[in-house]
Amino acid sequence: MRLVLLVPALLAAPLAAQSVRDRLEGRVPAEAIATIDSLVQVAAQDSLPTEPLVQKALEGGAKHVAAPRVVAAVQVGLTQLRDGRDLLVRAGDLPPVTPGEVTTVVWALRRGLPAAVVGRIVAALPRPPRAAAMHAVADLVAHRFDPDSGTALIIDAIHQGLREGRLLDVSTAAIQELQRGRTHAEALAVVRQELPNVPAAPRPTRAAVVRARRPPGQQPP
Amino acid sequence: MNPIDPRIHQALDGEIARGNLPADLRRAVERLDAAAELLAAAAPAAGLESRVMAGIRRPLPSRARRLVRWLSTPQTVMVRIRPAWSLALAAAVTLLALVPLGDRWGGPMLGEHEGIAQFVGRFPGARSVHVVGSFNDWRTGTIALEGPDHDGVWRGALVLPAGTYEYMFVVDGERWIPDHLAEREVADNFGRENSIVIVRAVRR
């Protein structure tokens, strides 16, 4: 029985490696492919998500970035993934943490959230998904809200039962108050009073839905 | 005009015996008696007022008033149901409610965890504008925006799984330009900024 389980696992790694090389071939400088591939394999062995690294390499190739800079960017990406996983574990997530959550934390760090803020969000939302909460705080920080105050608002919203996309509505409401001329503190106070009834983001119009197309190669679910 | 012989009046009033009248006057009295009987037998004629009112047709109320009256009056409606057809109708209504949004509107069928990403950029004078990002493996030239309109604005919309994506516009196949209307951006680690789009599931 163990052998039956082990054989597919042993076959899966080389197949995954081959598929990464196939995806990079012709799209990334040839001299960078071997190094990038090895970095992707390291990530896989560490149970880290590999797709962000592949995407970074493909992005570098599409932008005609020189091979050493593509490799450097992928190396930075691997470091960020490790940092994200470690941060999740420190904040209380039990290993193995899911690749999706690691990616979420990396997004938050790349968008400029301090590690302490990310830890507070993780503690407030013990169970995933946390991506929207991270983005909501990052949106506030990007608009020069105090990170701690912004985090407190989003955590208040979480405590009042808001989840996922609704948390983005909270940050959007605060930013709109700012655009109406309120100070940062006033904007946060106004939105905190509205919780949990902040306005919801408008749904896409009928025209937008009709016009929308899937990217080539993407299959409908 | 011939005056009526006074003896006829007297005979009709019973003042003299009819047998004492000459034959021609007696026949005249008999004809007048017969006419009087006919008049007595006929139904009394209606009065003038009632005859005039009967001649005037009563106007019908307007259609709207009749409709309102019909709607506000209790009606007895009898419905005969075939159970098989009723179940089929219920199934059709349920199916319509469950069919994904896009399919109902004539666009692409949206999955439960899919949403719409909309892209808008103003590039006056551009010959082509493509959107490139992590949603299409950064393949250039595959997703063209539509345009330009008279203001030089290019537009596009994509069906994507809910999530976060990095992207840029590629103008005329060579110029990489971030989306200046995007609410979020992040360093691309190549010295520039990528725009970020967060796709939320439509069926939330």
Q: Residue B188 sits in a domain of what CATH number? A: 2.60.40.10
B122 vs chain A: nearest CA distance in angstroms?
18
State whether ipTM is beyond 0.90. no
Q: Token digits for B48? A: 């003038």
Residue B196 — φ and ψ, nearest 5°?
A: -120, 135
B106 and A210 within 8 Å at the Cβ level: the answer is yes
In a domain, B39, yes or no: yes
In a domain, B145, yes or no: yes
A215 and B136 within 8 Å at the Cβ level: the answer is yes
Coil, strand, or helix at residue B197? strand
In a domain, B47, yes or no: yes
Residue B194 — φ and ψ, nearest 5°?
A: -95, 150
The verdict on B122 and B54 lying in the same domain is no
Contacts of B204 in chain A (CB under 8 A): 164-165
Cα–Cα distance measured from residue B158 to residue B108, given in angstroms and rounded to the nearest whole number: 10
Q: How confident is the model at residue A2 (pLDDT cuts 50, 70, 90)?
A: very low
In a domain, B158, yes or no: yes
Alpha helices in A63-213 (DSSP H): 67-91, 99-110, 115-124, 131-142, 147-159, 165-179, 184-194, 206-211
Residue B191 has pLDDT above 60, yes or no: yes
The verdict on B38 and B116 lying in the same domain is no
The verdict on B42 and B116 lying in the same domain is no
Domain that holds residue B121: 110-199
Q: What is the pTM of this model?
A: 0.70
Q: Which residues contact B172 (CB under 8 A, 6 or more apart)?
A: B126, B127, B128
Q: What is the pLDDT of residue B100?
A: 52
Contacts of A206 in chain B (CB under 8 A): 105
Residues A62-108: tens digit of each pLDDT: 999 999 999 999 999 999 999 999 999 998 887 788 888 999 999 99
Q: What is the domain count for chain B?
A: 2
Find the residue in B nearest to A110 (Cα). B186
List chain A domain ranges. Answer: 15-110, 113-202
Find the residue in B nearest to A73 (Cα). B189
Q: Would you say A90 and A119 are in contact if contact means Cβ atoms under 8 Å apart?
A: yes
In a domain, B204, yes or no: no
Amino acid (1-letter code) at residue B22:
P
The verdict on B56 and B114 lying in the same domain is no
The verdict on B114 and B171 lying in the same domain is yes
Contacts of B188 in chain A (CB under 8 A): 59, 63, 73
Among the partner residues A23, A73, A208, nearest to B189 by beta-carbon distance? A73
In a domain, B51, yes or no: yes
The verdict on B55 and B124 lying in the same domain is no
